[in-house]
Amino acid sequence: MGIPITSASYFATMTLDQVKHVFRSDTEVPIPLIEDRHRVLNESGTVLLEKFGGSFLTCVKKSQRSAQKLLRLILENFPSYRDEAVFEKKKVSFYKRAQILVADTWSVLEGKGDGSFDDISSLTIFADYRIPQVLVHLKAMNYSEELMRKLREGTIFQSGDKEEVEIRGCSIWCCALICKYLLELYEKKGQDMSGNINAVLLDYYLWDYARDHREEMKDTPFHRVRCIYY
């Protein structure tokens, strides 16, 4: 998990042309948001060098084996991870990329050593475009006719739009209810599955399901947003 200082230095000094080369397309369609990707790479590399000795493992160790502490460290130090919006005059926070970074750290380290986060279940699913799609496909969530019409027409939403926030928020709540229901089912059977059922593992499962059942899901539209938070 450690990023060598040379790598962090490289990220911090990469030029736009270098980033364009790394992310070059094998079709005529270029990768979107290339300027933003360049900015985020430089920003992350600079933060790693200036605050964590060039290694993300330093950040992990500072979390003291807490998923929530690591999440806060990421949000406090890496601006591009602050995935927030305002909904009906209230601040809402999704932190998709920040949470998946914490979860993948836990997963790669197999929940051991510096990655033994006892509070891993405090994370939510990682709300982007694919999880809502599979939840609708499985009829765990329903969209209004108006929203479905917009999705089928290929409407491009902006990050923070009412519909986008609702889709992501409902996905998180839906998966929280699924986890709660599964835990209750096992509890009735006299089995404690609190260490085996959480939003992280549910997200991994749903993402794999969406990948493996892509053809079956092609008639279920997903919402389209171009931003750095997904």
In contact, 55 and 3? CB cutoff 8 Å: yes
In SS3 terms, the chain reads as CCCCHHHHHHHHHCCHHHHHHHCCCCCCCCCCCHHHHHHHHHHHHHHHHHHHCCCHHHHHHHCCCCHHHHHHHHHHHCHHHCCEEEECCEEEECCHHHHHHHHHHHHHCCCCHHHCCCCHHHCCCCCCCHHHHHHHHCCCCCCCHHHHHHHHCCCEECCCCHHHHHHHHHHHHHHHHHHHHHHHHHHHCCCCCCCCCCHHHHHHHHHHHHHHCCCCCCCCCCCEECCCCC
pLDDT tens for residues 51-83? 999 999 999 999 999 999 999 999 999 999 999
Report field, pTM of the whole predicted structure over 0.75: yes
- Per DSSP bridges, beta strands 156-157 and 84-87 are unpaired
Residue type, 117: F
Instruction: For the chain, give the mean pLDDT.
Output: 95
Is residue 128 annotated as part of the catalytic site, yes or no? yes
- Percent residues over pLDDT 70 in the chain: 97
How far apart CA 40 and CA 214 sit, in angstroms, is 30
| pLDDT in the model for residue 10 | 77
Mean local confidence (pLDDT), 15-27:
94
How far apart CA 70 and CA 117 sit, in angstroms, is 10
Considering 104, 128, 161, 208, which one is annotated as catalytic? Answer: 128
42 — pLDDT class (breaks 50, 70, 90): very high
How far apart CA 202 and CA 182 sit, in angstroms, is 11
In contact, 86 and 35? CB cutoff 8 Å: no
In the block, tokens 């985020």 appear at 40
Mean local confidence (pLDDT), 147-174:
98
